[in-house]
């Protein structure tokens, strides 16, 4: 297949591209290389595959409709995996327009170019953040998600609705994946594991919000990539049992699907930190802080639909996952 991946220099995007190229697929990557976090790690991620003859890299922004359309016409993808997004819950409070341009305008451009160029399947990143004020655990795709707590979450919910519209109007199969706290080697410097590791090794305090009472469904990058690969090869289909009088929020009479993709084993944040301390051989100096605006206290993914439809099997525990990250971090930064 010819697969177009946006967010190609990102954590998940670059990891996915590595695997797709190993499988022999032809891949076109798109990324704007913005400075939300250190651009150098983005460059280093793509250096792992930039010279692969089956890979083409495009430095452009998905909010530029003309450049996106040119890219689609040149590459003619069979499948699109849209992972480009302005991430971060707290950053969305301070910089809302960044989220509107990338997550809404940019995704609209991806949908429109996919329609014009007869793309066979669109897979796109949603987020566990869409569950917002929901407290019924584990989070299920068959529950409503109408109470987001941040603009970031609202844009991801909007992506799901926008995708449904294109699936309904133009019969384009779309599959949304709600990611649950992804971590591992080559991860994002703005995320907790990366920040904690850097601060602990520098002898600095780590900021732990909600007084350490968070639970997170931490999901290792290899398990995420495995799930995306499985989804790519099986386009969404209509749910023939869908009932408009009692609508199921996770399926549709159109070729549209939503799935949780997580580890299905929520971990107490303090246990996560303890495992990091064990892997580093250093104790953390902790600064406990209250819950931050926009944060969800707990996440817990119900992944039974992904298991039933795709045989998804997340298998990496936090001991292995955190150890792998620490080993990568020390090697990458020469610690």
Which one from 131, 152, 300, 312 is the annotated catalytic residue? Answer: 152
Which one, of 229, 283, 293, 299, lies nearest residue 16 by Cα? 229
142 close to 250: Cβ distance less than 8 angstroms: yes
Q: What is the DSSP letter of 211?
A: G
Helices (H), the chain: 11-22, 39-47, 65-75, 89-94, 96-99, 107-116, 151-170, 192-201, 221-232, 269-280, 304-310, 318-333
Place of tokens 């599959």: 175
The pair of three-digit structure tokens given for residue 104, joined into one six-digit string: 């809404």
Burial of 321 (0-12, 13-18, 19+ CB in 10 A): buried
141 close to 250: Cβ distance less than 8 angstroms: yes
Whether 99 is catalytic: no
Which one, of 26, 31, 27, lies nearest residue 8 by Cα? 31
Which one, of 267, 282, 133, 135, lies nearest residue 212 by Cα? 267
Which one, of 22, 25, 24, 23, lies nearest residue 4 by Cα? 25
CA-angle at 164, arms to 163 and 170, nearest 5°: 90
Helices (H), 76-220: 89-94, 96-99, 107-116, 151-170, 192-201
Question: How far, in Å, are 218, 276, 320 from residue 317 at the CA level?
Answer: 9, 13, 6
303 close to 139: Cβ distance less than 8 angstroms: no
Which one, of 82, 6, 10, lies nearest residue 39 by Cα? 10
| Residues carrying an active site annotation | 152
């Amino acid at each position: 297949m010819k697969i177009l991946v946006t967010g190609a220099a990102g954590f998940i995007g670059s990891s996915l591209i590595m695997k797709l190229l190993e499988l022999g697929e032809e891949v076109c990557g798109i990324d704007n290389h913005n400075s939300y976090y250190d651009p150098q790690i983005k460059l280093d991620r793509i250096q792992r595959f930039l010279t692969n003859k089956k890979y083409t890299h495009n430095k452009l922004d998905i909010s530029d409709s003309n450049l996106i359309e040119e890219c689609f016409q040149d590459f003619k993808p069979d499948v699109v995996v849209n992972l480009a997004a302005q991430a971060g819950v707290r950053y969305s409070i301070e910089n809302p327009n960044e989220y509107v341009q990338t997550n809404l305008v940019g995704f609209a451009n991806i949908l429109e170019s996919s329609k014009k160029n007869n793309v066979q399947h669109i897979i796109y990143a949603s987020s566990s953040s869409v569950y917002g004020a929901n407290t019924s655990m584990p989070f299920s795709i068959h529950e409503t998600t109408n109470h987001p707590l941040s603009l970031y979450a609202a844009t991801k919910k909007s992506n799901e609705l926008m995708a449904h519209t294109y699936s309904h109007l133009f019969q384009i199969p779309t599959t949304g994946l709600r990611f649950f706290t992804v971590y591992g080697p080559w991860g994002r410097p703005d995320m907790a594991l990366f920040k904690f590791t850097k601060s602990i090794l520098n002898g600095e305090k780590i900021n732990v919000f909600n007084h350490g009472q968070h639970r997170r469904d931490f999901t290792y990058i290899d398990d995420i990539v495995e799930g995306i690969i499985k989804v790519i090869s099986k386009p969404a289909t209509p749910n023939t049992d869908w009932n408009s009088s009692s609508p199921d929020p996770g399926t549709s009479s159109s070729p549209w699907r939503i799935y949780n993709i997580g580890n299905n084993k929520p971990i107490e944040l303090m246990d996560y930190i303890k495992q990091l301390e064990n892997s580093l051989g250093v104790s953390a100096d902790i600064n406990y802080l209250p819950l931050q605006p926009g944060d969800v206290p707990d996440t817990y993914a119900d992944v039974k639909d992904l298991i039933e439809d795709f045989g998804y099997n997340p298998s990496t525990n936090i001991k292995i996952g955190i150890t792998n990250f620490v080993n990568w971090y020390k090697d990458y930064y020469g610690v």
